[in-house]
Structure 1
């Protein structure tokens, strides 16, 4: 007879909130906004209810923002076309983790606009 202990996941909305907010490390340290949530997701996805969904959304969003950032930087010399997308990327990268942290605290699913699906 197998034990169901290993299949049970705990509810931990606080950890989900922290996982979303760790994306802000990029603004504080210059890096870490992808690495820390990736580590939290990888280590907790089988233990915390909802972590797999939230973690995938965060990683997809961070990878998307990195790509959009690089494209924007490349487009700046071309008649400053990249400046507006760069501003948008910076605003989204700051606001969306906060919005989704609030959603996570309320038990809601994350929603990140312009996020490409690298991990499904």
Structure 2
């Protein structure tokens, strides 16, 4: 899937972009739980969009990780798992930076479920 970005008007409070960026970083430590809490609690459309993107990525990362885990028996999974870990970190940092700039970045390799 091609990554897309949606631009939001960030004329509102500065905390909106900050919370959106924190939502992505929170996913590194809490998987889907942190972004889901932000998604449910927040009333801001920009924050919700970023939380939704973070949740979708974490779900797909889990799917990819389970597939790689199944491929461990063919020894290719040992190569894929570290790459997925690195991709997770890189994608989350990119998404957090984009969110702090007022963009809702859609993660590559992700189909929207939420």
The two structures share one fold, judged by TM-score above 0.5: yes
How many pairs align?
Answer: 101
Query: Pairwise mapping of residues 4-23 of structure 1 onto structure 2 (< 5 A)?
Result: 11=13, 12-23=16-27
Deviations 1:39-89 (A, max 9, x none): 111111xx21312221111111000001111110111111x1212221221
User: If you compute each CA radius of gyration, which structure gives the higher value, 1 or 2?
Assistant: 1
Structure 1 or 2: more helix by fraction: 2
Rounded to whole Å, the distance in 2 between the matches of 1:67 and 1:76 is 14
Gap runs ≥5 in structure 1: 1-9, 26-31
1:54 correspondence with 2:50: yes
Q: Could you tell me the TM-score, scaled by structure 2's length?
A: 0.81
- Mark the runs of 5 or more structure 2 residues left unpaired by the alignment: 1-11
Partner of 1:71: 67
1:83-98 correspondence to structure 2 within 5 Å: 83-98=78-93
2:6 aligned partner: none
Root-mean-square deviation over aligned CA pairs: 1.4
Instruction: Work out which structure has the larger RCO, using CA pairs closer than 8 Å and 6 or more positions apart in sequence.
Output: 2
